[in-house]
Amino acid sequence: MARADDRSEVSVVGRGARIEGTVVAAGSLRVEGEVRGAITAKGDVLLSPEGRVEANIEARSITLAGQVRGDLTAEGDVVAPADSRLDGNIRAHNVQVGGAVKGAPLRWRKSARGGPIQSGRC
């Protein structure tokens, strides 16, 4: 049976779970445990305060509340509130940073061909 919108599905890496390798989500992904490797989601990625990630993350939007070591790439927003920590670069349409970031936030948009066009630091 086909679903109208696969992005409404949410996959969860639960507390106490540890994944090493590539995580691919057809919809959104919530990380409450640990991931090492790479994360790609067609939907949103949400990292809970308990979550720990050592991976590059690509998603529609990304919200951090835990710790990430890796680069973030989002078609939409990256939100890093006060309780988040990021050691990596950010490439997104909009960036909101309140937490600690070691890296460069860059704003970009898609070209007519679908590839990113870097348009400068946020």
Domain boundaries defined on the chain: 7-111
Q: What is the pLDDT along the chain (122 residues), one digit of tens a residue?
A: 344 444 479 999 999 999 999 999 999 999 999 999 999 999 999 999 999 999 999 999 999 999 999 999 999 999 989 889 999 999 998 888 887 788 776 655 554 444 443 444 44
Where is 63: in which H helix or E strand?
strand 61-64
Helix, strand or coil, per DSSP, at residue 104: coil
Q: Calculate the dihedral angle through the C-alpha atoms of 105, 107, 109, 114, rounding to the nearest 10 degrees.
A: -20
**CB contact at 8 A, 79 and 90:** no
Phi first, then psi: what are they for 63, rounded to 5°? -125, 125
What pTM, to 2 d.p., does this model score? Answer: 0.80
H/E element holding 105? strand 105-110
CA angle, 79 as apex, 77 and 85 as ends, to 5°?
Answer: 140
